[in-house]
Amino acid sequence: MKRNVIRRDEMLTAQLKLGGQPIELAQYASTGLLAIAVGPRGNGKTNAGLLMAEQLAAQGWVSVLIDPESELEALYGAAVPDPEALRASLDARATRIVVVSAKDASEFVPYGRVILEAAEEHRKPVFVVIDEGQLFSTSSRAKTGDAGEAADIINQFAGRGRKRALDLFITALRYTGTLQRLLFANKNLTLIGCQEDPTAWSALAPQFKGSQIGYSDLNALSTGEFFCFSRGGVEKIRMPMAKALKAVAPKAKIIHRALPSTFNQWTRAMSEIPAERLEALTDPVVSLLGAVAGLTSQPMVTGISALQDELEARQ
């Protein structure tokens, strides 16, 4: 059966408002949208996906939320009972936000097949949100059974979605080692949240080349803050809360991480570090940590001198 070349007309006027400059989706009309949010648990990745799902649902998409924790039914209504019900919903397009409960790859596979089939047949805009992406798209090369099929389905979302009006948002705990490389290779909207592990910087650093953003900037991000890489460049954003989540979430005070700012605070902080841990900071270890953090020679020399002074004072 012959098909006309797909035109993403809905993209031409659509926007995403994620807390920074509005993202004009006309820039994604020829590629589709593949968004990835990276960061530890509890940093706002799920909210980012829900916010995008709500905004796109209001602009003509059907948003399908893959819910591994059975948390989203309280926000958006009961999950579809089976793959056949999902197919009926995608055919009718009357429900703009559809919840799919899938706790693992085995439960995801039949729903993933239905999404691909509906996208192939209708080619009308669908936005799939996959929370806890590492449950369904493992980076392991030894993919077998349902885990392998789930990863292949998500790869098809990413690789074939643009011609089927199928857009994707997926979360990852780390920039490497959690999702299939194909997803990272094809992403065109990236949200990077707080990074607490300095060793993660080596994988992230190329993203920030030329931006003057370093590991300390990532480590200082609070919950809901991200560096957003879009077709318009990179900017730091504070993600608004999704409407459904805002209706039930308690209000919380924004807490920013801060280093000690007075001599007494520094003295107290240093005194809480056991001497054994300071002595473990040998020259090779200090050099490695400095390289991971992207420090220049001057702060490295200053830090090493301060460490030596502290150790001498404790003798």
pLDDT in tens, 148-159: 899 899 999 998
User: pLDDT digit string (tens) for 220-249?
Assistant: 898 899 999 999 899 999 999 999 999 887
Look at 5 and 66; give whichever has higher pLDDT: 66
Structure tokens at 272: 């809480």
Of 162, 160, 102, 107, the C-alpha closest to 132 is 102
252 located within any domain: no
Average pLDDT value over all residues in the chain:
86
Same domain, 87 and 118: yes
Last residue of a domain, one of 246, 280, 300: 246
258 located within any domain: no
Residue 47's pLDDT band, with cuts at 50, 70 and 90, is very high
Last residue of a domain, one of 188, 220, 246: 246
Q: What pLDDT, on the 0 to 100 scale, is given for residue 195?
A: 85
DSSP β-bridge partners for residue 126: 62, 166
CB environment 42-68: b (16+ within 10 A), e (fewer): ebbbbbbbbbbbbbbbebbbbbbbbbb
Q: What pLDDT, on the 0 to 100 scale, is given for residue 255?
A: 61
Same domain, 164 and 282: no
Q: What pLDDT, on the 0 to 100 scale, is given for residue 7?
A: 72
Amino acid identity of residue 308, one-letter, is: Q
User: pLDDT digit string (tens) for 21-43?
Assistant: 999 999 999 899 999 999 888 88
Residue 302's pLDDT band, with cuts at 50, 70 and 90, is confident
Same domain, 231 and 280: no
Residue 138's pLDDT band, with cuts at 50, 70 and 90, is low
Kindly list the distances between the CA atom of residue 59 and the CA atoms of 12, 33, 63, 289, in Å, as whole numbers in the listed order.
11, 14, 11, 46
> Where are the alpha helices (H) located in 104-180, listed in sequence order?
105-122, 145-160
229 located within any domain: yes
Same domain, 43 and 185: yes
**Domain interval for residue 137:** 9-246
Amino acid identity of residue 310, one-letter, is: E
Last residue of a domain, one of 200, 221, 246: 246
> Distance between CA atoms of 192 and 65, rounded to whole angstroms?
21
Q: What pLDDT, on the 0 to 100 scale, is given for residue 56?
A: 98
Q: Report the domain count for the chain.
A: 2
Same domain, 212 and 277: no
Residue 108's pLDDT band, with cuts at 50, 70 and 90, is very high
Same domain, 162 and 283: no
Same domain, 124 and 41: yes
User: pLDDT digit string (tens) for 182-211?
Assistant: 788 889 999 999 988 787 788 888 888 888
82 located within any domain: yes
251 located within any domain: no
Same domain, 224 and 289: no
Kindly write down the DSSP assignment for every residue of 10-58, as one continuous string: GGGT-EE-SSSS-EEGGGGTTT--EEEEE--TTSSHHHHHHHHHHHHHT
Q: What pLDDT, on the 0 to 100 scale, is given for residue 79?
A: 97
CB environment 140-151: b (16+ within 10 A), e (fewer): eeebeebbebbb
- Residue 257 pLDDT > 90, yes or no? no
Same domain, 90 and 157: yes
| CATH number of the structural domain spanning residue 241 | 3.40.50.300
User: pLDDT digit string (tens) for 93-106?
Assistant: 999 999 999 999 99
Q: What pLDDT, on the 0 to 100 scale, is given for residue 251?
A: 64
CB atoms near residue 278 (< 10 Å): 14
287 located within any domain: yes
Cβ-proximal residues to 212 (8 Å cutoff; 6+ apart), any chain: none
DSSP state letter for 135:
G
For the stretch 242-249, contacts whose Cβ atoms lie closer than 8 Å and that sit 24 or more positions apart, written own/partner, are 242/47, 242/50, 242/51, 242/53, 242/54, 243/54, 244/50, 244/54, 244/75, 244/76, 245/47, 245/50, 245/75, 247/75, 248/74, 248/75
2 located within any domain: no
Of 6, 3, 5, 1, the C-alpha closest to 166 is 6
Same domain, 146 and 242: yes
Same domain, 283 and 222: no
Task: List the single range of 2-6, 42-46, 113-117, 288-292 with lowest mean pLDDT.
Answer: 2-6
Phi, psi dihedral angles at 264 (to 5 degrees): -65, -40
Same domain, 268 and 161: no
226 located within any domain: yes
